[in-house]
Amino acid sequence: MKILHTSDWHLGRSLYGKKRYAEFEAFLNWLAQTIEDEEIDALLVAGDVFDTSTPSNRAQELYYRFLCRVSTSCCRHVVIIAGNHDSPSFLNAPKELLRALNVHVIGSMTEVLTDEVIVLKKNPLIPQRNADNVEAIVCAVPYLRDKDIRTVEPGETIDDKNRKLVEGLQKHYEDVVTLAQETRNNLLQASPAADKNIPIIAMGHLFTAGGKTVDGDGVRELYVGSLAHVGDDVFPPSIDYLALGHLHVPQAVGGAEHMRYSGSPIPMGYGEATQEKSVVLVEFEENNKLSRSPTKITLKNVPCFQQLVRIVGSLDAIHARLEELKQEESHAWLEIEYTGADIIGNLQETLAEALADSPMEIRRIKNRRVTDLIISKIAEDETLDDLDDKDVFIRCLDAFTVPEEDREELMTSYAEVIKDLVKRI
C-alpha cells in the first residue's frame, strides 16, 4: 500500500498583497499527477487546507476540482483533517457528499469517537468485517481546540493550563488509537484465515516540542498564552505512522522517522524561500504478518512554481544581485532590504527603474536606514507603543529634515492615506 502525506496548503494565501492562485493550481496539478505516476492508494492531508476560515471562491474551486480529479484516479482514499487555519464547519459542510467519492473529512473533534477512526478498504462494496479487504486504519484527529480538551477551573495557573492541555491531547490520542486497535482485533478475529497485519496510521495538527520553524512562515502558537509543545511520548507507541501538519519545515519528530511533518508544499514567506519543499511517500508491505511498520519512507521534492528571492545589502550590492538575476532571466518575486549607510529617500523609485525591463516583481522594500533613524529619534523613556501613527510620521519628517513650509501638505496627504487604509481594513 502506498500513502502520500501532505499538509499546510494554505490555499488562498497572498504574499504582500499578491495573489498566488497560479502557484496553488500548479502544485495541485503536480500532486494529482504524482498520485497517478506513483500509483498512490491513499492521500492524507494533515490540516490547513485553506489559509483563512472564509476561503475565496477561487480557493474553493481549486480544492474541489482537485478532489474530483483524484477521486477518478488510482487513489482509493483521501483523508482530510482540519488545521488551526481552517473553519471546521466549512470543511464539514460537504462531508457526506465527498464521502461518496471516498473523501473523508474531519473538521473538528467529533461527538462520536468512532467518526475519527476510518477503515480504508480496497473494495467499499465488500463488508468491513472481511479483514482481507482492509488496507489500513486511520485515526483522523483534527486540530484540537482548547475548549475541546481542557476544562477551565477558577484559580488555575499557566502551568496548570499547559499541563491540562497536554493531558487532554494525550488522552484523546489514547482513546482514538485504542478504538482503532479494537477495530483491528475484531477484524482479524472475524477473519482468522487472513494472512496480514493491518497498520494503524494517525494524523494530527499540532506543535511538537523541538519542532523547527523559520522566520516569516506564519506558524502560530496554537493555544493562546501556552508553552505547551507536546512531546513524542503523547502519541501511543502502537501508531505505525504519524502524519502531522502545522510546521512548514519537513522534519521527523524526535528523530523517529515514522512520525513526520510533511511541511508546506510552497514557500509561505521569504523565510522559506530557500527551503526544499516535499511530500512524504509511505509504503507498507501487503500481507506482512511479521511487521506493520512502513517498509519505506521517502521525501518526494515538490518543484518550485514561483521563485522568491530576498536581497539584503547596500545599494551597490542590491544592484549587483539584480543584474545577476536579470542575466538568469529570472521571474522572481523580490523582497529587498537596504542596509547601507546613506539615506536614500527615493529607494523605491530607484529599484523600480532598475527593473523596468525585467519580469521580476518587487513585493516588499525594507529601508533599515530610515527605520533606524526614526527609532533613534525616540527618547530613552519612550517606546513605539507610546507613539501613534501621526507621531511616527513627524519623527520621519524630522529624520529627513523636511522644511516646515512643506510639512502641512505632506501631513494632509498622509492623513488621507491612513483614512483610506482604515476603510479597506
Q: In this predicted structure, what is the pLDDT of residue 291?
A: 66
| 242 shares a domain with 353 | no
Cell of 251: 522534519
Q: How confident is the model at residue 46 (pLDDT cuts 50, 70, 90)?
A: very high
Task: Give the end of a domain, one of 256, 271, 301.
Answer: 301
**Whole-angstrom Cα distance, residue 263 to residue 250?**
4
Q: In this predicted structure, what is the pLDDT of residue 163?
A: 84
State the amino acid at position 145 in one-letter form. R
Q: Which residues pair with 2 in a beta bridge?
A: 283
Task: Give the end of a domain, one of 253, 279, 301.
Answer: 301
Q: Is the pLDDT of residue 224 over 60?
A: no
Task: Give the end of a domain, one of 270, 301, 332.
Answer: 301
Q: In this predicted structure, what is the pLDDT of residue 381?
A: 57
| 376 shares a domain with 295 | no
| 64 shares a domain with 20 | yes
| 334 shares a domain with 228 | no
Q: In this predicted structure, what is the pLDDT of residue 373?
A: 58
Q: What is the mean pLDDT of residues 91-112?
A: 93
pTM here is: 0.84
Q: How confident is the model at residue 147 (pLDDT cuts 50, 70, 90)?
A: confident
| 285 shares a domain with 200 | yes
Residues of the chain with pLDDT > 90: what percent?
59
| 179 shares a domain with 51 | yes
Q: Among 85-99, 127-141, 217-231, 346-360, which stretch is predicted with the lowest mean pLDDT?
A: 217-231
Q: In this predicted structure, what is the pLDDT of residue 226?
A: 47
Q: What are phi and psi of 373, to 5 degrees?
A: -65, -45
Q: Which domain holds residue 418?
A: 308-424
Average pLDDT, the chain: 87
Q: Which residues pair with 260 in a beta bridge?
A: 243, 252
Do 58 and 83 form a contact (C-beta atoms < 8 A)? no
Q: What is the mean pLDDT of residues 322-334?
A: 95
| 314 shares a domain with 277 | no
Which CATH number covers residue 52?
3.60.21.10
Q: Is the pLDDT of residue 135 over 60?
A: yes
**Whole-angstrom Cα distance, residue 45 to residue 61?**
17
> 207-223 pLDDT, tens per residue?
887 778 776 555 655 54
Q: Cell 494533515 sits at which residue?
A: 46
Q: Is the pLDDT of residue 48 over 90?
A: yes
Q: What is the mean pLDDT of residues 93-108?
A: 94
Q: Is the pLDDT of residue 370 over 70?
A: no
One DSSP character per residue, 6-49 reads: E----BT-EETTEE-HHHHHHHHHHHHHHHHHTT-SEEEEES--
- Structural domain total, the chain: 2
Residues of the chain with pLDDT > 70: what percent?
87
**Whole-angstrom Cα distance, residue 4 to residue 78?**
10
| 106 shares a domain with 193 | yes
**Whole-angstrom Cα distance, residue 273 to residue 313?**
18
H or E element that contains 80? strand 77-81
How far from 247 is each of 10, 171, 274, CA to CA, in Å? 12, 22, 16
**Whole-angstrom Cα distance, residue 51 to residue 383?**
33
Q: Which residues pair with 245 in a beta bridge?
A: 205
Q: Is the pLDDT of residue 371 over 70?
A: no
| 337 shares a domain with 239 | no
CA dihedral 361, 276, 136, 241 (to 10 degrees): -130
Q: What is the mean pLDDT of residues 304-328?
A: 95
Q: Is the pLDDT of residue 52 over 50?
A: yes
More confident residue, 306 or 194: 306
| 194 shares a domain with 324 | no
More confident residue, 103 or 391: 103
**Whole-angstrom Cα distance, residue 241 to residue 202?**
6
Q: Which residues pair with 281 in a beta bridge?
A: 4, 298
One DSSP character per residue, 83-102 reads: -TTS-HHHHHTTHHHHHTTT
How far from 372 is each of 56, 314, 395, CA to CA, in Å? 38, 15, 11
